[in-house]
Amino acid sequence: MDQVPFETPASLLRPVRHGNAFEETIERLLQTIKLGLFAAGDKLPPERELSEQLGVSRATLREALAELQKAGYVEVQRGRYGGTYVALKLPAGRGKGTALDPAEVDDALAFRSVLEPAAASLAARAKLSARERRHLLDTLADVATAPAELYRPKDARFHVAVAELAGSPSLAAAVADVRARINDLLDRIPFLEPNLEHSNRQHQRIVDAILRGDDEEARQAMEDHLLGTASLLHGFLGPGEERSEIPTQPN
Amino acid sequence: MDQVPFETPASLLRPVRHGNAFEETIERLLQTIKLGLFAAGDKLPPERELSEQLGVSRATLREALAELQKAGYVEVQRGRYGGTYVALKLPAGRGKGTALDPAEVDDALAFRSVLEPAAASLAARAKLSARERRHLLDTLADVATAPAELYRPKDARFHVAVAELAGSPSLAAAVADVRARINDLLDRIPFLEPNLEHSNRQHQRIVDAILRGDDEEARQAMEDHLLGTASLLHGFLGPGEERSEIPTQPN
DNA sequence: TTTCAATGGACTATTTTTAGTCCACTGGCT
DNA sequence: AGCCAGTGGACTAAAAATAGTCCATTGAAA
């Protein structure tokens, strides 16, 4: 059987860096855009700021931005009041290139279902400022009124917004990361018209619970909401597990 | 008030790399040792293997190992059947150098209390192999019989072992990371003789629940167990919050 | 109309990191 | 006794990344 020995701990003997700085920077910026943290048309921070925030030299950042520009994700304007702007129309992710890795699907979904319900619960328990409540409602409205073709980034932004209210930056970052992983997985399966109304009702239920301070309901609402993506992705893992139907929730 | 604008998302605009490869490699190896994933006297993987696992060139890994050797964390033997060994007696962390950052304390504790109870719950729900059960019991026994001066690494190893049973590598990695952060925090406060017996009883309760498949009890037991560290660290954040007593649980 | 500050663009020297190669040492095996 | 495979040790050339500096462009403000 040649079992993996417990003596060799995988938990920390993993890559310190994932590729070179250039690739990591591209990846991070792409995630930020695809998660809707910068919406279409938004201006990115100036290069000098952004390079500092990303912990990378300006030269490297510029290489990454040049790639994104070439690929059509951002547009650049020079001069004062210029800057780098997220393209109004994002290029279609070519997706479907590679098959789903079942281990990655299971891991991402499991991790997500640990993080997001907990975040919702913490958000409900937190004392939210008026501004935070407003922001949550804004984000909710934004996703509710989004047209289908850009539902996913708005939806992702809503989920990250919830996580940010939980008060733990690490948790928010982890939620954003795992959501980006799930977006990548979703990009690889055929597009199904999602049931936006159902999803929006679930979002509303989550927000209601958070604003009401009902942490258990918030957790439960988020758990329910995540089931959609879970079975959607599992449904495309092919045979080996029994599937009853193909669900249509978008996230 | 100059509020942080929600328009600038902090969740993903964070450093892509934390220092240079050399520093990150030292950090990772130190964590691995301090978490007890390599116990005192254990042999590390050969440099060629380790450098690949860490995603770093052998030259960089060797620089890091040289530092650890100089600091007394590892010892090196040349020749066949030689290798790099974790020192039998680890140097005392000089600690107490810097004060606790309340935000870091809160973040680490909050994140941890999301991850570990969930991991315990998942482990209880998982179908564990005989080998996994044995490993869990071994690790439990190892921490229970550890002398006080090296209780912390054994304890950390137990917690990571639980997380690894949850079946999500991401979750296990996150647990290991956050535990390392908490270890660093604990290094900065005066040493209090921990109540090892109490801690061991809690460990036993967690293991019992997992082996019994009682996921709710496992979650609850882990939550209770984490309260000790939480109030211990909060107790050292100084005034500003009311503290009733100084708890003594070691983790 | 002119100015000028904020922005992207470009270049250089230096440092870090890598991949590859060969050397040196050691202890079990033949 | 000698071999030799597996280990750490050391060096080189190349590539990647950084810090620093200066240039080019722009549009609002004076």
- Quick: pLDDT tens for A165-208: 999 999 999 999 999 999 999 989 887 777 899 999 999 999 99
Give the confidence band of B5 by pLDDT, cuts at 50, 70, 90: low
pLDDT digits (tens, 9 = 90+) for A37-69: 999 999 999 999 999 999 999 999 999 999 999
pLDDT of residue A7: 59
Q: Which residues of B touch A175 (CB under 8 A)?
A: 11
Looking up tokens 């070519």 gives A94
List the domains of chain A with CATH numbers: 21-86 (1.10.10.10), 102-235 (1.20.120.530)
Query: In angstroms, rounded to a whole number, what is the distance separating the alpha carbons of residues B42 and B153?
Result: 13
Return chain A residues 2..31 having CB < 7 Å to nucleic acid strand D: 20-22
Could you give the percent of chain B with pLDDT greater than 90?
A: 74
Ranges assigned E (strand) in chain B: 74-77, 83-86
Q: Are B71 and B26 spatial neighbours (Cβ–Cβ below 8 Å)?
A: no
Mean pLDDT for the stretch of residues B195-220: 96
Identify protein residues whose C-beta is within 7 angstroms of any atom in strand C: A 17, 44, 46-48, 58-59, 62, 65, 76-84; B 20-22, 55-60, 77-82
Q: Report the distance separating Cα A223 and Cα A114, nearest Å.
A: 9
**Cβ-Cβ contacts under 8 Å for B117 (sequence gap 6 or more):** B219, B220, B222, B223, B226
Q: CB-CB: which of A3, A11, A169 is closest to B107?
A: A169
- Strand C bases, protein C-beta under 7 A: 4-12, 16-21, 24-28
DSSP B81: T
Contacts of B90 (CB under 8 A, 6+ apart): B33, B40, B72, B73, B150
Give strand letter and number of the nucleotide nearest A20 (CA to C1').
Answer: D16
Cβ neighbours, 10 Å, residue B60: 19
B109: nearest CA partner in chain A: A168
Angle value at C-alpha B76, between B73 and B80, nearest 5 degrees = 150
The per-residue pLDDT for A3 is: 45
Q: Give the three-class secondary structure for B76.
A: strand
